[in-house]
Structure 1
Amino acid sequence: GLKAAVLLGLLFYGGQKLMRWWLTLVARRKSDELFMLNLLLVTLGLAWMTEHAGLSLALGAFVAGMLIAETEYKHQVETDIRPFHDVLLGLFFITIGMKLDWRPLVDHWWLVILLTALPVLAKFALIAGLARMFRSPPGVALRTGLYLAQAGEFGFVLLTLGEQHRLIDPQWVSPVLASMVLSMLVTPFIIMYSNRIVMKLSSSDWLMQSVALTSIAKKSIKTEAHVIICGYGRSGQNLARLLEGEAIPYMALDLDPDRVRQAAAAGQSVVFGDAAKVQSLMAAGLARAAAVVVSYHDTPSALKILNLVQTHAPRVPVVVRTIDDTDLEKLRAAGATEVVPEAIEGSLMLASHALALVGVPVRRVIRITRDARDKRYGLLRGYFHGADDDTVDELDQARLSSVTLPTASQHAGKPLDDLALHALGVAVVSLRRASGKGLLADGATLAGGDTLVISGRPQALALAEEKLLG
């Protein structure tokens, strides 16, 4: 016992510094294979040390994971071990399921429920109490307790060791094992309803959320026709600067408190809020907004935002940023007006610089990249005509026009292709239902109230509008 206590004390006292020094030394070799081998060496080495100190192999591996998680290499480690993690985690739960004997559970179901409820409640109370001791707000403390109340994977290891050393009677193993599995199964539902639970347990949490939403609404209440920027990272900040240059109001929502504090101190219109929650979007003035821009690449979160916009302000266009075009169709089907993949934009910039460097005239380079963008982004084909676009050079240029079909349109129920607008020299850029839902123009069937964005020269657009509205 003394040897084990000394070993763990040394590992927790000086292990973090030693681990950071060692991983830095290995990382400087810039070899992925060497980095992975050293991770295995550290894990197996600590497992061997704890076993020789009278503890379990699993505890040594657990300590190794804790020490690595305290270094700046934890994200790289998570990426490297992801394949092993997925395979071994599945194998781990398969072995747990194979050890589970269902016959005693049917006979003692009340005991399983009791063993599930009592530890979960006790762990919830303990974690929430500790969080409050460290001065966390009541709502944060309660949510932390709810999120961590279930049995952990290491509990299975302890149960196995207890059985091997005859510390637990064999007849208790199956009920305890089943209760641990059951607590994990109910955890997603606890998390799903955690907000309602916390609201009932803590009135101050509701007040704090109300104050946060009030601060958002206070900044946006006098703003109209503004752009809501979801995420205030580098892309969001660059967009905000361009909007400021054109005197276009904006409201940015971000979940990084340090970034929000610094940007707000600099006079920028950014507040702390989750753009994937309807309360934050409505407080930011969604109903009065001119557009919504999702500036971070997180497809599940973007889909939530698109669903909220379609539900509460279907006529507000949404532009979504992604890494590539993998989820392009999914985002468009969810209502995205335009999707901007970084990979495509990056390739266009690389191509334009390469062409310029090998001697292609700059005007030709600009035309090539513009044509490539026109094929990729429907909304960049032309522009909407305004009162200041009547110069001689612009009168015959392609432009955009929006046409909304009457509710009782004679074209309702007919395929868009039957109108043969391409024969007039007009292309359909986008199609949006009266509900605000965007559709792919190819093969679409028209309905009353549809809004079509068409592109072409002025004379062709006039003929197309006459045909659509006639």
Structure 2
Amino acid sequence: MQDHLLFHIVLLLVIAVVVVSISRRMHFPPILGYIFVGMIVGPYGFGWIQKEENISLLAEFGIVFLLFAIGLEFSMSQMLSMRRQVFGLGSLQVLATALLIFFLGWLAGLDNNTGIVIAGAFALSSTAIVIKQLTEQSEIHSRHGRSILGILIFQDIMAIPLLILIPTLAMNNGNDSALALSMAIAFLKGVAAVVVMHLLGRYLLRPLFHEVASSKSQELFTLTVLTVALSAAALTEEMGLSMTLGAFLAGMMLSETEYRHQIESDIRPFQDILLGLFFVTVGMLISIDLIIQHFWIILALTVVIFAVKGVVIYWSARLFQKEPGVAARISLSLAQVGEFGLVLMTLAFTYDLLPEEEGNILLTAAVLTMVIAPFMVKFNGKIAKILHRTSYRDNTENEETIKSHNPHLSNHVILCGFGRVGQTVGRFLHNANENFIALDMDILRVNEARAAGENVFYGDSSKQTILQSSAIDKAKIVMITFSDYHGALKVLKTIRHLNSEIPVLVRSLDDKHVNELIAAGANEVIPDTFESSIMLSSHLLLLIGKSPRQVLKQTRDIRRDRYRLLESFYPGEDDTSSLQEHQLMKGVIHSVALGEEAYAIGKRLGDIPLASFEVQVDAIKRGHVRGENPSEETRLRQEDHVILSGLPEAIDEAERYLLTGRMPKKLQESEAAEAS
């Protein structure tokens, strides 16, 4: 009975439910729970499952679906917007870490194949643990959070060629020329796979999913998703490449379609469960006897992994001009070995590229770094402040900037967050002649908004000193406009510590955490629904004391104008994260600064053919004065800021014309045709 597959699966599920439930209650990552389940049931534990091969195929499907889901998240626009972090800092970290670990392995007497496997595996960090922990701590959009995200994206990309490398090494053991030839062939096969998947995605997948979606059958849609993911995996495996490469490419092709979010939600249950089985198989490889027997060696290896990766990542970040404190937080968060490192090592065991005893010692040390990782990520800020106290003095500079620009601030509104919802609320307040100050952690968005004359400042609204600089003791009300639950709790805690009476409005994605937010001090929690931005702004104006008739008039005006007021936004770094967002976005707002050599200086607005660019002039900022809806007789001066709204491509062309006088070819041809 012990060799029966169904018995093994049922046994694993029962134990997994118990252990993972306990892990969640103790705030441990579920990954660690699954690994512990494997240790319990495996041959080195109670021996209830003697051969992990019985579930290894299902576990491999977990990795396939993980890569498929990562492919769905893979966005070329996101990559381009973060290219310095991804391809610069990420590539430097992976290459430097791998080379140093390979050198240390060579000094320790490891053969080349083993050294390559360990170097590749240990260079990667845990995307699952780090992103989850940073998100819960509301640090994903911080300075170190964006750098960490960029590095993890590059690591996920590098996992693909490393997965191809393992079987190639096994087939050409000890033959360098044959290895080079095999790698070249594998590279060409990989290029061919990319081309094939691109063609299939362009000419087959989109019409296929359109047809399936039109049937309105959830069962058929899910079945199609599974078929596409597994078919792509089978295709690349038949080409002699990794199954995971095909799954990644299929996900990337489907990320270009409008069905991406539905596909992601359908694949998530399969991915999570089967990926859990993979970590169970990892746990089955860990021997308690081995840990006891080689305890000091494993402990020393764990310390070495943290030290080597931490030092390399720290100095890589410093080379990219990150402040010492920020570099320390990045290195502390990424110093562990990740799930893809475990994938590489288990694959290397399959191809006999790792000696059993030495490999298990290294694997155990890698798993131990993952056990410690959540705590290092959680306390990265406190540790970094101990190591680099001077690196955090910039908060004082932010506070002084806010105070100096708002010396008489009182009876105002504080907006925590100036994303799309925050900007919408700001426009309502502006139209109602209400003073407000906005705090945001996206430096690009802050710079754009401040250049356009908005009262927006860079600052973390969960910090007491930042809120005090914003005169929270004299404010009418505070609104938390971002939807991050954990971040909102932090801000609420700080607000209530400083001012127990001030009304606080909070935005929430849904009603799941309404009770917790109210218990934390929120007066009103507005879940996102249809027209959520309008609803939030209406509630805010009513609480300030505006008449219901005035609020209703603004709402009706916006609806009557077909929401034109809400269409354009100041873009931030996180607004280019997906093609889907670009398709939904009607336009952006951008401030064009006229330098001393700008073409438009001295010209009337009416003489500049901006309408032909399909952009609109919202305002002219001159010094500290912002003039809304300027007339065509307005003559532009040096150092004016022309605030334009429209599609990003149109604004780029209009800005080029204002600065240089060069007209795009298509507009020149259009004017020539009209003249003739």
Work out whether residues 197 and 250 of structure 2, in 8 Å CA contact, stay in contact via their aligned partners in 1. Answer: no
**Residue pairs, 1:5-404, within 5 angstroms:** 5-11=187-193, 19=201, 24-26=206-208, 28-29=210-211, 31=213, 39-61=225-247, 77-132=263-318, 139-199=325-385, 205-343=391-529
In structure 2, what is the Cα distance between the partners aligned to 1:255 and 1:100? 43
Deviation at 1:269, TM superposition (A): 1.0
- Distance across 1 between alignment mates of 2:312 and 2:250: 26
- Which 5+ residue runs of structure 2 have no aligned equivalent? 1-181, 548-676
Q: Deviations over 1:21-42 (max 9, x none)?
A: 7655555547176765565455
Post-superposition offset of 1:228: 0.9
Bigger mean CA offset, 297-306 vs 39-48: 39-48
- Aligned residue type for 2:185: K
CA gap of 1:105–1:220, structure 2 versus 1, over 3 A, is farther
Match of 2:353, SS state, is: coil
Deviation at 1:380, TM superposition (A): 7.5
Q: CA deviation at 1:53?
A: 4.5
> Residues of 2 paired with 1:130 and 1:336: CA distance?
42
- When structure 1 is superposed on structure 2, of 293-302 and 36-45 the one drifting more is 36-45
Contact 2:282 / 2:346 at 8 angstroms: preserved in 1? no
Structure 2 letter corresponding to 1:153: E
Matched residue of 1:320: which SS?
A: strand
Aligned counterparts of 1:258 and 1:280: Cα–Cα separation in 2 = 19
1:3 and 2:185 equivalent? yes
> Match of 1:150, SS?
coil
- The secondary structure found in structure 1 opposite 2:491 is helix
How far, CA to CA, are the matches of 1:202 and 1:65 in structure 2? 41
Deviations 1:320-377 (A, max 9, x none): 123444433222221112223444987x99xxxxxxxxxxxxxxxxxxxxxxx9xxx9
Query: Structure 1 residues 73, 109: closer, same or farther in 2, change over 3 A?
Result: farther
Distance 1:168 1:273, change over 3 A: same
- Return the index of the structure with the highest Cα Rg: 1
Q: Supply the distance in 2 between the matched residues of 1:20 and 1:275 (Cα, whole angstroms).
A: 44
Q: Secondary structure at the match of 1:181?
A: helix
RCO (CA 8 Å, sep 6+): is it higher in 1 or 2?
2
**CA shift for structure 1 position 110:** 1.3
SS at the partner of 1:321? strand
Q: Which deviates the most, 286-295 or 319-328?
A: 319-328
SS in 2 for 1:120: helix
CA RMSD of aligned residues (A): 4.0
How far apart in 2 are the matches of 1:17 and 1:222?
A: 61
Aligned residue for 2:411, secondary structure, equals coil
Provide the C-alpha distance between the structure 2 equivalents of 1:20 and 1:130, rounded to a whole number of angstroms.
Answer: 38
- Tell me the amino acid that sits aligned with residue 188 of structure 2: V
- Work out the percentage of aligned pairs sharing the same amino acid: 37
> How far did 1:202 drift?
5.1
| Paired residues of 2:482 and 2:507 also in contact (CA < 8 A) | yes
Corresponding residue for 1:429? none
Kindly provide the amino acid, as one letter, of the partner of residue 322 in structure 1: S
* Conserved 8 A contact 2:413-2:476: yes
For normalisation by structure 2, the TM-score amounts to: 0.46
Say whether the 8 Å CA contact 2:440–2:459 is kept in structure 1.
Answer: yes
Cα deviation, 1:37-88, whole Å, max 9, x if unaligned, reads: 5654554344334434544434544565567678887655433322223222
Relative to structure 1, is the Cα distance of residues 74 and 272 closer, same or farther in structure 2, using a 3 angstrom cutoff?
farther
Q: 1:62 to 1:157 in 2, by over 3 A?
A: farther
State the AA in 2 paired with 1:225: N
The alignment's TM-score, normalised by the length of structure 1, stands at: 0.63
More helix by share: 2
Q: What do residues 391-442 of structure 1 show as CA deviations (whole Å, max 9, x unaligned)?
A: xxxxxxxxxxxxxxxxxxxxxxxxxxxxxxxxxxxxxxxxxxxxxxxxxxxx
1:58·1:157 contact (CA, 8 Å) conserved in 2? no
Amino acid at match of 2:416: C
Paired with 1:132 and 1:13, the residues of 2 have a C-alpha distance of 38
**d(CA) in 1 for partners of 2:324 and 2:432?**
43
Q: What's the CA shift string for 1:135-188, capped at 9, x where partnerless?
A: 655555443333322211122222222222222222134332322222112212
Contact 2:206 2:257 in 1 (8 A): no
Q: Distance in 1 between matches of 2:319 and 2:256?
A: 23
For 1:96-133, what per-residue CA distance to the aligned partner results, in whole angstroms no more than 9, with x for missing partners? Answer: 22332111101211122222222233233344444455
Q: Which amino acid aligns with 1:86?
A: D
How far, CA to CA, are the matches of 1:68 and 1:83 in structure 2? 18
Classify the secondary structure of the residue corresponding to 1:151.
coil
Alpha-carbon distance in 2 for matches of 1:335, 1:317? 9
Distance 1:303 1:212 in 2: 22
Higher mean C-alpha deviation, range 51-60 or range 262-271: 51-60
Q: Kindly tell me: are residues 285 and 90 of structure 1, through their superposed partners in 2, closer, same or farther at Cα, counting changes over 3 Å? A: farther
Please list every run of 5 or more consecutive structure 1 residues that lacks an aligned counterpart in the other structure: 350-372, 386-470
Distance 1:135 1:45, change over 3 A: farther
Residues in 1 aligned to 2:499 and 2:357: alpha-carbon distance in whole angstroms: 59
Whole-Å separation in 2 of the counterparts to 1:145 and 1:64: 32
Aligned partners of 2:257 and 2:324: how far apart in 1?
30
Number of aligned residues:
357
Residues 33 and 143 from structure 1, CA distance in 2 versus in 1: closer, same or farther, beyond 3 angstroms?
farther
